[in-house]
Each structure stands twice: as C-alpha cells, then as structure tokens.
Amino acid sequence: MEKEPILKLRGICKYFPGVRALQDVDFTLRRGEIHALMGENGAGKSTLIKVLTGVYVKDAGEVHIEGHEGSVNIHSPQDAQNLGISTVYQEISLCPNLTVAENMFIGREKSPITNWAKMNKRAGEMLSALDIPASPTMQLGSCSIAIQQMVAIARAVDMECKVLILDEPTSSLDEQEVEKLFKLMRDLREKGVGIIFVTHFLDQVYEVCDRITVLRDGGLVGEYVIEDLPRVELVSKMLGKELDDMAEIKSSESDEEAEAKGDIILEAKGLSSSEGIKPFDFHIRAGEVNGFTGLLGSGRSECVRAIFGADRVTSGTVSVNGKQVKIKKPIDAMKAGIGYLPEDRKRDGIVSELSVRENIILALQVMKGFFKPFSRAKAEAFADEYIKLLEIKTASSDTPIGQLSGGNQQKVILARWLLTNPSYLILDEPTRGIDIGTKIEIQKMALQLAKEGKSVTFISSEIDEMLRTCSRLIVMRDRKVVGELTGSDLTQGKIMSTIAGGDNK
C-alpha cells in the first residue's frame, strides 16, 4: 500500500564556494510516515534540511508539495512555514522564560491584543490532545528538555504543518524521554503528518521509522523501506563501502606486530564523564596505535576527552606507567605526558588571532610555567623547526593561524603537541576537512610516532584510515564500548557489523 506523497524533492543541487554540498538529490515523503534521513558528517543532511526550511536557497531542482501546483520556491523560513513545513531543532529555539502557552502562540497572533484566557485554553486542549504532560501556564524553562521538545513539536503541529522535521531531537534526552517522544511521533503519524527524522542513533531509527533515505558526500545513495535494509547494510551504505569488497587484506605488519609487546603506558578503569558515556576500560602499550570507532555521536571523542580530563570525570581511575594519576584538568594530563589534538579544530584547537608561532609553543609554554616565558628567539626556533618538519604552508611564523588553510592549521596543532614530546598522543579526527595529501602525512606521522616507542590513539570517521593506522580498534555504539577488534578481525565487514550490532548479523 503506497501512500500518497506530500513532499517531493527532485534533483536538488546546492553549491558552496569550492564544495558541492548537494548533487542531484531526490527525496520523497509520504503522508503519515516517519522517514529517517541518514548519513555521516558532511553527507548533506543538514544542507538538505536547510534548503527545505528556507535557510539556504537551492541552486537547482524542484520542490513539490501537496496542494501546490508545480514547483514551489522556498526563500525564507517564513515561506517554509506558510507551506506547512515546520522544524524542531536539536537546540530548542523557544523562550524558556515564557509560559508553555505563550511559547506555542508567540509571533502567530494576527491582532495586537492577546486574549490570554482563550490562548491558555487552546494550548491546554492541544497539549491534552497530543498527550503532553504539561500545563499551559507553566514556565517553559521549568519543564524537562523532553517536554520542551514536545512543546516545540506541538507548536509546529498547530501551525497546520504537513511536514515536520525533527533534527536530532533525541540527543539530549534520556531513554524514558525518548520513549515519550516516540509515542508523540507515532500519534502524529496516525494523524497523517509526514515526519523527517534526523538522528545518529541506529537503534532509534529501527524502532520508529518506516523508511530510510541515505545520503553520502552530498549525493543520494538510495531510499529504502526499513524492513529491506538490515543494519549492516545501512552502515555500509552510510560509510560508502560495499559489503563485497571487504576482502581487503590488512597491511603487512599485521598479527604478530599488531599485538604490540610494549609495556602498558596508560590504563583506565571504569572511566566515565559528565558527557554521559558508560564506564569503560582502556589500555594502550608503548609503540601501539589504537583507535576508537563508531558512528558520529557514539561517544568516541567523549572517551578520549575523559582520559585527557577535558570533560569532568565522574568515576574511574587512570594510571600512567603503572602509577595511578589524578587527572582533573587538562594540565594534569599534560604533565603525565598525554597530548590531545581535539576533534573540533576551530572551537577547541586553534587560537585564531594568535600567530602560528604562539599557537605552536602554547602547550609547552603552559607546561613550563607562567613565570618562565620562552625568549622570542627560542620560540622562533621551535616554530621554524616544526614549520619545516611538517611542511606547514604559512607566510611566516608571525601569521595569525586563522589565515591558514584547514590542513595547515591542523599541522600547527599537531606541531604544538609534538613539541611537548608526549609519551601518549591522542589524535581525535586529525584528518577531518583537510586535503588528501595532508591526511596521508598525518597518518604516517602517527605510525612514525609508534615506531619511536610512543603510543597513539587515532580516531577517524573514515574506516579506511583507521585500518591503515590502527592495530587495535575499540568499537563504540550509543556511548558504550561494544567491542574490541584486533589482528585478523580488523576488516571493514567486522567493524561494520560490530558498529551496527543488533540481531541481524
């Protein structure tokens, strides 16, 4: 039974300077279905959503929506709303200091006079119709995140929406709250609303969705009915690896060498942090490169951030070289010989207006102490040495790092940590958003460090890259360590099936 489509996108293209964000993407949403939009980072999910909601204007393609003749143009979020497309974003964009009812009706009153009693009454009716446990006069900020999320949905639904877009609505909810949200979604499906559901949680997709559309690198991979697409295949489609060519052979230095015989450099037991990862154990030996893998949002970064003390550690112990150390702040980890190249280069890595030189010496300088600044000559020498060693392309060591390309910025951050001479270096997505040449240089650098007897943890969204560099992989799903692969198990097929988990092997 094919339901009638209410939204059809055909051949959507969107270009940004130097990037094809969307290339010829089709998408069809039917009445009364929950449709998952899946893809890894940079696949084009958010661009597609933004085209649909009028944040971006498409460069080519057609949008057909039920009840409108021909292709419609969406030039602003207002247009989208008038067409019946509503969006609830990950961060709730309501006003916490207003009441629930006010939030539901704000900006929608045509007349300048508000009839409060009437507004509260209508809000109450809607809330009970949707079975949302909130009262209209409650202040929104005093409700739980899930309720706030639902109020946002109620607001969207009341605006006579045909298409409801939920962009990562569950990422800050706990399990019961997710259940409540799903119930609401199912109710809306019964009422004939088409829901586009964007999430990184595979379990949730299989729990609530009817169809899946997968995007990769700005292009459409395909549209599937959920029963026809086992998890493993979904993962392989998202990552762009056909299950057939999994016969890849691990590079020469496998098995025996993979189980590095070095001493254990760092060992963590029952570590968990304020970012909600389940307690995990971890160890790394001298001369070993290992990695955390898993889909985005699976908790890879949160694990290494806990080791480095970047997030607040809530339980567990860390020992370095057999001695237990207390890591409360990054400086404690640095003093224990740990370096951390963060995932988000712009937010956590570079200090954009400072020079390349200052960015390179920063970590070592902090370790040396407040009252012992490096002389200008010494700092120049350090900077020049690493600019040459890593072939950083910069006009001079005085150039602000913000003016460099992404790859060169990353090399500067790498230089910063190499300069501190850590015995254990964590590289969290070191190759994201940088050119292929630099990617390979960074991979080589990781292997080179291991040869010198150092330990490296390498995290990447690209499984290829992990296979090339790591001898042991820790697999994460939904903020939990779900497996550890070494030696002959290090194949794409095995990794994907471990990531996917679930029943279907």
Per CB under 8 A, residues contacting another protein are: 308, 310, 329-331, 334, 340, 342, 347-354, 358, 362-363, 365-367, 369-371, 373, 416
Instruction: Choose between 241 and 357: whose C-beta lies nearer to another protein.
Output: 357
Nearest distance from residue 312's CB to another protein, in Å? 12
What's the CA gap between 472 and 447, in Å, rounded? 13
Whether residue 198 contacts residue 167, with contact meaning beta carbons closer than 8 Å, is answered with yes
Q: Select 57 or 351, whichever has its Cβ closest to another protein.
A: 351
In 3D, which of 71, 30, 31 has the Cα closest to residue 51? 71
Q: Which amino acid appears at position 101 of this protein?
A: A
Instruction: Quickly count: other Cβ atoms within 10 Å of residue 78's Cβ.
Output: 10
Q: Check if the beta carbon of residue 292 is closer than 8 Å to that of residue 458.
A: no
- Output 140 or 362, the one with its CB closest to another protein: 362
Helices marked H in 328-392 = 330-335, 356-368, 376-389
For another protein, the closer of residues 102 and 311 by Cβ is 311
Return d(Cα 310, Cα 184) in angstroms, integer. Answer: 36
| β-sheet bridge partners, residue 16 | 19
DSSP assigned state of 277? P
CB of 380 to another protein, least distance (A): 15
Give the integer Cα–Cα distance in Å for 331 and 234.
41
Shortest CB 140 distance to another protein, Å:
22
Which tokens in the block code for residue 144? 């739980």
What minimum distance in Å lies between the beta carbon of 394 and another protein?
A: 18
As measured in angstroms, the least distance from the Cβ of 329 to another protein is 7
Length of the chain: 505
Q: Which is nearer to another protein, 203 or 332 (CB)?
A: 332
Instruction: In whole angstroms, give the CA distance from residue 214 to residue 15.
Output: 19
Q: Which is nearer to another protein, 126 or 363 (CB)?
A: 363
Toward another protein, which CB reaches closer, 95 or 331?
Answer: 331
Of the candidates 269, 272, 267, 268, the one whose C-alpha atom is nearest the C-alpha of residue 314 is: 272
The minimum distance between CB 358 and another protein, in angstroms, equals: 6
Q: How far is the CB of 39 from another protein (least distance, A)?
A: 27
Which of 251/352 has CB closer to another protein? 352
DSSP-derived letter for residue 124 is H
The contacts of residue 187 (CB under 8 Å, 6+ apart) are: 130, 131
- Residue whose CB is less far from another protein, 121 or 335: 335
Smallest distance, Å, CB 474 to another protein?
22
Q: How far is the CB of 366 from another protein (least distance, A)?
A: 4
Q: What is the DSSP string of 20-61?
A: EEEEEEEEEEETT-EEEEE--TTSSHHHHHHHHTTSS--SEE
Task: Output phi, psi for 163, to 5 deg.
Answer: -120, 120
